[in-house]
Amino acid sequence: MAALLIACSLADIALARQSRDLSSEARSAKGETATAAQRAVRKSASIAGRVIHSDGTTAEGARIAVYAVREGAPAAVVGTATSTYDGRYEVTGLPAGLFVVGATPQRIRSFGGDSRRLAAPAMETLYPGTTDRMKAQPIVVFDGTPTEGIDIFLEPAAQRYSISGRVSWPDGASFERFVIEYGGPGNVHHGVWYVTDPGGLFTVEGASRGTYVLLARAETPSGPLIGIASTDVFNDSVQDVRISLRQPGIIEGRLVIEGASGPDPATLRLTPMQALLTLSPLYPVADAIPDSSGRFTMPQLLGEFTIAVQGLPPGWRVRRVTRAGVPLADNHVTVTSGERVTGIEVMISSSATP
């Protein structure tokens, strides 16, 4: 009887061990299957798009880096790729999560039709188009879902827009065409646009983001007509900008020499410098020649100007510009259409003058 009980007990122990082993193997197999499935899900997403140069052309050979986002900023690189001839890239094998994409274009030098890559890469631009890592736009990637259309516009200001509108002029004015000079602060696109439409319609192409100043000028038998307007380009083209051509204004003033002795005013030249945009050499700015008392006149002006003094002796400079005795901010003089700005005084002195 005792032998029978011992035999049963041993059989129960063996059966329990076998059951435990089978259960352990099942759990292991189940865990491996779950891990494999988890890996398949977490590594099956992708990010794709194009890399575009500032002039609108596609960027071939750009290095693409996908960064995981940690505490709101790009962190470790989790995937890379290289853009193809049409600027397209695709980074595969990504898990779900939040990512930032950067593109570093190849610097290419051209030698008589032969393009060769330079060893040093250019600056990295982060989606959608910034070199500031804190301004990069994070991208949400879902499990097993391709993320498309992540186009990176390379700095500076890769997007290109247009500025369109109409120029108007006084009745009876006669001229064949007029010119719009445009530009502004920062790195906005600048240039000259010839308007030939009889109704004064114009469209300036190739504008980038930023604030623009448009200065229109037309030559008439009685002298130039000038108009000015500003606009802001952000995420779309700008329409219906209106520029009215009018008689330009005049600055009248006096050059004041501070100190016991100084240069002869007749040896100096005063130049009005447009402060709102950089003008082309198309219409050279005329210098003003002061008389023996320092008085000068600057005609045909419209906009905001600084006044430079040419021919100053070494150590001499413009100290301040005033109107009716009141200092002007940044030494800027503003002239509106048909305005005669009087009472301007340009003070020059030696650096040794207190």
Of all residues in the chain, the percent with pLDDT exceeding 70 is 81
Q: What are phi and psi of 92, to 5 degrees?
A: -105, 175
Q: Which residue is it, tokens 């194009």?
A: 50
Quick one: 232 exposed, middle or buried, by C-beta within 10 A (0-12, 13-18, 19+)? Answer: exposed
pLDDT band at 22 (very low <50, low <70, confident <90, very high): very low
CA distance linking residue 102 with residue 65, whole number of Å: 5
Neighbours of 267 (CB within 10 A): 12
pLDDT of residue 115: 42
| Number of Cβ within a 10 Å radius of residue 149 | 8
Which element (helix H / strand E) includes 271?
strand 269-274
Across the range 258-273, mean pLDDT stands at 88
- pLDDT value of position 8: 44
- Three-class DSSP category at 215: strand
Mean predicted confidence (pLDDT) in 258-264: 82
CATH fold of 249-350, please?
Immunoglobulin-like (2.60.40)
Q: What is the rounded average pLDDT of the residues 170-194?
A: 85
- Which of 163, 94, 85, 91 minimizes the C-alpha distance to 127? 91
For residue 40, the model assigns a pLDDT of 42
Cβ pair 71, 25 in contact under 8 A: no
In this prediction, residue 341 carries a pLDDT of 97
Decide if pLDDT at 43 tops 90: no
Strands 114-117 and 88-94: unpaired
pTM greater than 0.75 (yes/no):
no
The more confident residue out of 332 and 172 is: 332
Higher pLDDT, 69 or 113: 69
Which of 130-134, 203-207, 328-332 is predicted most confidently? 328-332
Q: Which two tokens stand for residue 122?
A: 């250019």
pLDDT at 19: 53
Q: What is the dihedral of CA 42, 80, 51, 118, to 10 degrees?
A: 180
- What's the rounded Cα separation, in Å, for the pair 249 and 284? 17
- Specify the CATH architecture of the domain 161-244: Sandwich (2.60)
Q: How many helices (H) and strands (E) does the chain have?
A: 1, 26
Q: Which residue has the higher pLDDT, 108 or 48?
A: 48
Q: What is the mean pLDDT of the chain?
A: 83
Q: Is the pLDDT of residue 163 over 90?
A: yes
CA 135 to chain centre: 13
Residue 305: pLDDT band with limits 50, 70, 90: very high
Percent of the chain with pLDDT over 90: 51
Identify the weakest region by mean pLDDT among 52-56, 202-206, 259-263.
Answer: 52-56
Q: Are 216 and 306 in contact (CB under 8 A)?
A: no
Write out pLDDT tens, residues 100-148.
Answer: 999 999 865 433 333 434 444 578 999 988 888 888 999 999 888 889 9
* Element of type H or E holding 24: helix 2-42
What is residue 166's predicted lDDT score, i.e. its pLDDT? 95
The pLDDT of residue 139 is: 92
pLDDT band at 53 (very low <50, low <70, confident <90, very high): confident
Asked if the domains at 45-153 and 161-244 fall in one CATH topology, the answer is yes
Q: Read off the pLDDT of each residue in 56-64 and give the average, rounded to a whole number.
A: 88
Which of residues 284 and 212 earns the better pLDDT score? 212
Helical segments of the chain, H only? 2-42
Mean predicted confidence (pLDDT) in 70-95: 92
pLDDT category of residue 172 using cuts at 50, 70 and 90: confident
Contact 124, 154 (CB under 8 A): no
pLDDT at 31 over 90: no
CATH number (2.60.40.1180, 3.40.50.300, 3.40.109.40, 2.60.40.10) of 45-153 reads 2.60.40.10
With bands split at pLDDT 50, 70 and 90, how would you rate the model's confidence at 57?
A: confident
Over range 60-86, report the average pLDDT.
92
Is pLDDT at 9 greater than 80 in this prediction? no
CA 219/CA 198 separation, integer angstroms = 15
Closest CA to 266 of 296, 307, 246: 296
* 85, β-bridge pairs: none
For residue 324, pLDDT over 70 is answered with: yes
- Region 194-206 average pLDDT: 91
What are the residues facing 288 on neighbouring strands? 270
Domain ranges within the chain, ordered by starting residue? 45-153, 161-244, 249-350
